Each structure stands twice: as structure tokens, then as C-alpha cells.
Structure 1
Amino acid sequence: MLEQQFDFRTSSGENNPIHAMELNRILGMTEKIMHTEGRMQTIIPFFSVARYSHQIPMIPGVLTPSFCLILQGTKKLHLGQDIIHYHAGDYLVSVIDLPASAQIIGANKQSPYIGLRIDFTTKEIASVVMEAGINVKPKDKKLNTGAYVGKSDADLLELFIRLLKLIDKPQEAHFLSSLIKREMIFHLLMGEYGHFFLQQVFIDQQGDGIGKAIEWIKQNYSRPFTVEDLAKLTNMSVSALHHKFKAVTTMGPLQYQKQLRLQEARRLMLSGSLNVTTAALEVGYENSSQFSREYRRLFGQSPFKDIKALQKNVAVETLENS
């Protein structure tokens, strides 16, 4: 199991007072607009703020394409066999849907966890790549997991400052926010981990192969299938499909399907629209007992107890992208 530790205060062997000052400035701007618990959607459709004033235990969920910056606090992320800790000044980028679990550590009323989130799509990334004339095909042909942690710099923090200044200016926000978002994507593409972005754009644009496999499962997770069926659909051998799929998502195709099913069933039950049996059928389970066993294995308790506990918890929102 790989465990990664990130801390901007020691990343270069010494403190960075300018970076810390910019981070504190953003924190101050954020606290002026965010006083409640949980996640708040701003007037900018793709921009949200999260605040938690207490520790939150590990909560399974799904990473969706997004860029998340921690302003204060620490988060622990389980992604496949990897454990990633990231702190104030670190950011997490996810470029495909990835089942994962997240935990907020050490938060309290005096020092709450605060994070910012930008949602994007691979099409938006591809658009920036083409307009900027960046080479789409990555030099490194080795597939990497579709998420990574990096460290913010002054230019990136300045873009967040500009975005936060638009929160109380609806007309300007409507026009300028999307331009700032494109600048952020460009900055990430040109940064140290830009090749991850490029690789995922390349995968997404392929007419067949691993990108098609991931998209097919996302659209058809309630349908039964075999790895052999998926291999034929994507014009790949079974061994190649399994190897590449696991490299990108940290798990095999059937496990990926199972986690998507269970996450969707959890969402349906949490919304109050379906009971356990109906939710199980809705996501493709024919046997409610099997559903309950696999649900308990992923979430740690029975569907009924899990949903009841979540409904009492202010952290009902998924934590992965906060």
C-alpha cells in the first residue's frame, strides 16, 4: 500500500511566507461568505466551498472530475490501495469518476476544515489543450491513476482570489468566471503534473480502448456483463483490458461496476426516494441479500443503519470532492 504525504510548509525544506500569506488571504475571503457547515454552492455553477468544524470518519464515495484546493485542515483519501494525506495549500485533481473514501482529520470549531472545489469536464480540458497548441498525446505511455495531488503556487492562488472576488458580482461572474476556469486548466496542464491531464484527455478521446470501457460501465452499471463482453466491445484482449483498467481506476471492471452500483443505491436511499429492496433492484441487484452483504462490506454496516446514521450527520455530502 502506497502512502503519500504532502505539506506545503515543508515541501522545499523551508517555509514559504508569500505562499502562506496568499493562502491566508483566500481563507479570509472564503470565511466571509461561508459560515455554515457542509458544502455551499456559490453563484458560479462550477465553484463550491466546503467547511467542517469537526472530524469526519472515512466515508466512501465517488471522485468526479474536479480540482479541489485545501485552505485549512487535513484530508485523508483512500484510492484503491493508495492512502493520500493532503493539507493546506495542496490540491487534488480527479479527471475521471473514481470510487474512493475520504476522511477529515483534526478539524474543530477553532480551526475548521475549509476547501474550494472547481468542477470541470474532460471536454473542457481538451478544448484548452487544442486552443493552447499543447501536444495532446503524453510522452509517457504508462497509464496512471486518474487522480493526483499537487501543490499550489502563487499563480494558481491568484486565480482563486480573482474567482472569489466575483461572488458578489453576478453579471461579472457570468462572463468572467468561465475564463478564469480555463486559465486554471491551462495552469494545471503546464504544471509539474500536466502529463496526467494530457493522458486522461487522450484516453477520453479514443474511440475505443480503456476510455470507452469506463464510459460504457458508467452508462450501463445496472446491466450484467462479463469482462470478455467488455473486451470485445473495446477491441482489447481480456488481459490488456484488465491491466489498463486497473492502472487508471485502481480496480478491475467488475469491481468498478459494483462500487458504482452501491454508491448510486446509497444516494437513492439517502434521498428518501427508495427503500433497501427497491434501491437494490434499481441499480441491478436481483438478490437483496447479496446487495446487503456487499453494501456492508463497502460501507461498514447494513443499508438501514448506514442511511440512518448519515441522515443524522451534517456530512451527508460526499467528502471526496470538497
Structure 2
Amino acid sequence: MDKAQLETLKTRALALWKRHGRETPVPGLFVASADVPTGPIHGVYRPSVCIVLQGTKISQLGGQAYRYEEGNCLITSLEVPIRAHILDASAHAPYVAFVLDIEPAVVSELLVELARGEPIAAAGPAAMSVHPLANGLIDPLERLLALADRPRDIPVLAPLIRREIYWHLLNGPQGAMMRQIGLADSRTARIGRSIAWVRDNYTETISVPHLAGLAGMSPATFHRHFKAATDMTPVQFQKSLRLQEARRLLLAECTDVAQVGFAIGYESPSQFSREYRRMFGAPPGRDGAAIRRTVAPDNHA
């Protein structure tokens, strides 16, 4: 890996962070920086690639932890609830990273060029994976970051550079995972349809046969592939989404704990408080007051 180019990426990302904060002028491109390690930060990751330019972060999905550091990229193929920690960060050497959303429709278009009539290798569903950053990606990534300073160029050039980045990812060690994102009938895409239903109906009672039908699988096959992709059962996945939404409501100054529990689908306030404490380490009232004083949820990077 070219250290000088990586340093240039870091300099550009830090400059964007200082000027714009997390959201850059380039659609779907986000940056992050932290000068101290963080405790557990909860959030939801979308299909994306996160590139760490300095420091170290761990993202946990279910019982699986993914560690990525300078020169690594984290690929996320599904919309999943995570718990993350920034491990290495200081005022002298801050954590620096940026995230680019992955658009499945664009990946699908590129798969046509990639296949050229040849069968595309199958791969099992996986929500996240970590890979070294390939040298071929550094140049288009640098050009994408540089676009933030040229707003007139963004509508024309950003989609082209994004396609170039996806192309390199498809042809790199993470190619099998990228293909799963772009294939409409892949196991990942089918699991993604069930996840979208859970996300949009998280207050409803889970029906595994219904979710399996959305994915076009038998209940037993669906349960196996869902667990393989997310390291959670569908019920555990829904519970994580519910409790993260509860935390968001508490962060938004809603201090009636029972009301929050009912709003996210719990019928028993005591069960809500018990499961909230198990996930976040403190009862909802106390945790809500603490997070309003400290940190917002993790939005990736």
C-alpha cells in the first residue's frame, strides 16, 4: 500500500471533517474523526464501504466482532444494528475514516460487464467483512474526496467515480460479497428483503414463516441463512432494532420510559427496562439522561 497516498487521503478527509462535519457535499460520502477512544456506540449500518485512514475501530454484529484499522476497509452488505468502539484515537493521532454508501442498482449494472455471459460465483450471505485496502482503490477514492471542493463537478463526476470504486471492489478480495449486494436473487438480497420488512414493522410480532416467504425460502433455510448473515436470529435482530429506536427516542428528550417501551412494541414496562439494561448496561431512564449529555448514536465511520 502506498503510504504517501494514504496520508493524502487522511489529510483530505480531515479537512472535510473540519469544514462540513460528518456529511460532505458528495451524496453518500461521509467522514468521521475522533481524538479520544469511545465506549460502546450503537447504530445501524447500511450497505457501504468504510475506509480507516488512521486509528482502530471494532464493530460488533451479534456475537461477531470486526476489527479494522489504518489501511483496512469494512464492507457492509445489509442494513444491520451494530455496537462499535473506537479503540485508537488521540489529539496527536486522531481516528480518521470515511464511508461511501453502496448502491445495489449500480453494482447490478457493473455485474453485467463483469460476467460477460459467464456464471458468477456463488457466495453465502454475510453482512460484514474486513479487507486490506487495495492500491487500485486509492486513486479514485482521492478523486472522490477532492470533488467535495468542486460542487459544480459533483453531479457529473461523482457517479462515474463511484462506479469506478465499485468496479475495483468487485474485482478485489471482497468481490464475492459485492456480487451478493448486486444480485437481485442472491441470498444476501433475499435476506435483505426480510430485514427491510422488520425495519419498517419493528413494533409488530415477528413471524418467521412470513419473513421466509419474503425471502423465498423455507422457514428452516431462512433461519439458517439469516443467522449466518447477521449472527442473530430474526427475533434477536428485531429486539436490537427496537432497543436502538428506544434509545433514539430517549435521546430526543422523551423521558417517559413506559411510553417509549409501548411505542417500540413492548407490552411490559418491566421487560422493556430489563432488556434495555441488558443491551446498554443501564436502565432506560438513567441511560437516556447520560446519552443526552454525551454522545449521539453511531452512524458508521
TM-score, with structure 1 as normaliser: 0.84
1:23–1:157: 8 Å Cα contact kept in structure 2? yes
How many Å separate the matches in 2 of 1:213 and 1:136?
29
**2:60 alignment partner in structure 1:** 78
Q: 1:136 to 1:236 in 2, by over 3 A?
A: farther
Secondary structure at the residue paired with 1:77? strand
The 2-side partners of 1:239 and 1:173 are apart by 46
Give the SS at the match of 2:36.
Answer: coil
Q: Distance in 2 between matches of 1:50 and 1:75?
A: 12
Query: What corresponds to 1:173 in structure 2?
Result: 154
Q: Percent identity?
A: 33
Flag structure 1 segments of 5+ consecutive residues without an equivalent. 1-15
Structure 1 partner of 2:275: 294
Query: Structure 1 107/133 Cα, relative in aligned 2: closer, same or farther at 3 Å?
Result: same
The gaps in structure 2 that reach 5 residues or longer are none
How far apart, in 1, do the equivalents of 2:46 and 2:280 lie?
A: 19
C-alpha distance in structure 2 between counterparts of 1:249 and 1:225, whole Å: 16
- Aligned equivalents of 2:16, 2:42: Cα separation in 1: 28
Equivalent in 202, 208, 211 of residue 183 of structure 2:
202
Matched, 1:318 2:301: no
* Partner Cα distance (1:159, 1:168) in 2: 15
Structure 1 residue 188, shift from structure 2 partner: 0.6
The C-alpha deviation readout for 1:244-301, integer Å capped at 9, x for no partner, is 1101111111111111111122112212357422322222112222111111111111
1:96 alignment partner, SS class: coil
Q: After TM superposition, list the pairs within 5 Å mapping 1:240-279 onto structure 2.
A: 240-272=221-253, 275-279=256-260
Matches within 5 A, 1:45-124: 45-124=27-106
For 2:9, the equivalent position in structure 1 comes to: 26
Corresponding position of 1:189: 170
1:224 and 2:205 aligned: yes
- Superposed CA deviations along residues 192-221 of structure 1, whole A, max 9, x for unmatched, are 111111123336667x95343223222221
RMSD value over aligned CA atoms?
Answer: 2.5
The one-letter amino acid of 2:275's match is E
CA distance in 2, matches of 1:60, 1:86: 17
Q: Does 1:126 align with 2:108?
A: yes
Q: Is the contact between residue 53 and residue 97 of structure 2 (CA under 8 Å) also seen in structure 1?
A: yes
List structure 1 runs of 4+ shifted beyond 4 angstroms.
Answer: 131-138, 203-206, 232-235
Q: Deviations over 1:294-315 (max 9, x none)?
A: 11111111112222222222x4
Q: Does 1:239 align with 2:220?
A: yes
Query: Larger deviation: 292-301 or 115-124?
Result: 115-124
Match of 1:144 among 119, 125, 128: 125
Q: TM-score when scaled to structure 2?
A: 0.90
How many angstroms does 1:110 deviate by? Answer: 0.8
Partners of 1:22 and 1:222 in 2: how far apart? Answer: 47
Q: What amino acid maps onto 1:225 in structure 2?
A: I
CA 69–117 in structure 1, closer or farther in 2 if over 3 Å, else same:
same
Q: What is the distance in 2 between the residues matched to 1:235 and 1:169?
A: 45
